[in-house]
Amino acid sequence: MLEFRREGIYCPQGNFYIDPWLPVDYAIITHAHSDHARVGMKKYLCQKLTEPILRLRLGSDIQVQAIEYNQPITINNVKVSLHPAGHILGSAQVRMEYKGRIAVASGDYKIQDDGLCTPFEPVRCHEFISESTFGLPVYNWLPVSQINANMANWVQDNKANGITSILIGYALGKAQRIMKALEGVGDLYVHYAIDRVNRAFTDSGIQLPSYQTLDFSNKPKGLEGEIIIVPPSLFGSNMLKGIPRAYTAICSGWMQVRGARRWRSADAGFAISDHADWQGLLTAVKACEAEKVYVTHGFKSEFSRYLNESGVEAEEITTAFGSEEELDETLPKE
Ligand SMILES: [Zn+2]
Ligand SMILES: [Zn+2]
C-alpha cells in the first residue's frame, strides 16, 4: 500500500501522496512544519486545526479539504482517516485501509502530552512509518511539568537579578509551549513571526497566554526581568545583542547532549522537544503492533538496526523530512 517515490510517500491504490516534497495532484499533510507542508500541490487534505496554519504558510488561496480526527473518508477505494500525532497543533497520523491491510504514516510525533495539542493515540496497523529524529537512547525527556518548572526557575532567577530572559524556540509549536510554561512568571514578549503563528492558533480556538509583540525596529526598552521569545534564526543576531542585560536559553531536544557547536554560546539550554524521545519511539512502535516499520528521518540506521535486532522488521527510507523545527541545521550527528 506504500511506495516511496521521487515525489514523496505514495499510496498507489488511493493515488495520493503524504507530505510530498515535489508538486503532485493530491497531498495529505500530516502537519504544517515546512519540511512536511510544501507549496505547489493541486489539492491538500489536512486536519481541521492545521488548515489556518497551512494557509498562513502556503497562501490563503490553496485548495484545502480539512477533516476532523477519526473522521474516515474514502479516496479511490482507500479508507483514510487522521489520528492525533501529539507533535504540534493539528498534527495527524494518516491511517490508510485497503482490502483489510492497514498502513499508518505518523509524520512527526511525540508521546508526551504538552497540554497544547491533542495527545498521541496509537493506531494498530500492519505497516508503520516512523520518524527517528531522537532515535538514540541518550534522548530521554524529563516530564513536561518538570522541564516547565526548570524553565520558570531560570526565568525567576534572572528576574530577581534584573536580567531579561530570552528563550529561543521554533515559531510553530515550541514557542507556544514556552509561552504556556511561563504563563504568570513574567510579561511575555514575542517576535512577530511567533505572533503570526499565535494568531492562526487563536483562529482555531486555542487559548494562549496574553503577550505583546515586540517591535525590534526601535531599541526595545523597559524589558528588565521580562521574558522574550524568538525563533532560532535570531540567535546571535544584532537585534538580540541590542537588548541590555539579557541571558539566552535554547529550547530544543538537542540540548540533551553537549556538542551543539553553534548553540554552545547560549547561557542555558532546555531539552524540550515536539518529537518522541528514544522510549517514546519504542512505545509507539510497540503500541501500533506493526509487522513492518519504515524509518524516515533522524537516527535512521541506529533506530532501524535496534528494531531489527529486537524482532521488528524495519527499513530505512530516504526522504526530505527533518530539517526545520529542531534547530538541527548546524548540529553534528553524534
Ligand atoms: Zn514537524
Ligand atoms: Zn519534520
For the chain, the structural domain boundaries read: 3-138+275-327, 144-270
Q: Which three cell numbers stand for residue 80?
A: 483514510
Q: Which ligand is nearest to the CA of 53?
A: 1
Going from the Cα of 217 to the center of ligand 2, the distance in angstroms, rounded, reads: 32
Task: From the options 3.90.226.10, 3.30.470.20, 2.40.30.200, 3.60.15.10, give the CATH code of 3-138+275-327.
Answer: 3.60.15.10
| pLDDT, position 131 | 97
Going from the Cα of 73 to the center of ligand 2, the distance in angstroms, rounded, reads: 25
| 8 Å CB contact between 19 and 131 | no
CATH number of 144-270: 3.40.50.10890
Q: Which ligand is nearest to the CA of 172?
A: 1
Going from the Cα of 34 to the center of ligand 2, the distance in angstroms, rounded, reads: 8
pLDDT tens for the 334 residues of the chain, in order: 999 999 999 999 999 999 999 999 999 999 999 999 999 999 999 999 999 999 999 999 999 999 999 999 999 999 999 999 999 999 999 999 999 999 999 999 999 999 999 999 999 999 999 999 999 999 999 999 999 999 999 999 999 999 999 999 999 999 999 999 999 999 999 999 999 999 999 999 999 999 999 988 777 778 899 999 999 989 888 889 889 899 999 999 989 886 565 677 899 999 999 999 999 999 999 999 999 999 999 999 999 999 999 999 999 999 999 865 555 444 433 2
Mention every residue, 6+ apart, whose C-beta is less than 8 A from residue 217. none
What's the longest Cα–Cα distance across the chain? 65
Going from the Cα of 218 to the center of ligand 2, the distance in angstroms, rounded, reads: 35
C-alpha angle 155/157/162, rounded to 5°? 90
| pLDDT, position 322 | 82
Going from the Cα of 21 to the center of ligand 1, the distance in angstroms, rounded, reads: 14
Going from the Cα of 189 to the center of ligand 2, the distance in angstroms, rounded, reads: 27
Separation between Cα atoms, residue 309 and residue 87, nearest integer Å: 27
Separation between Cα atoms, residue 90 and residue 114, nearest integer Å: 13
pLDDT in tens, 138-147: 999 999 999 9
Mention every residue, 6+ apart, whose C-beta is less than 8 A from residue 251. 151, 167, 168, 169, 174, 177, 178, 269, 270, 272
Separation between Cα atoms, residue 156 and residue 160, nearest integer Å: 6
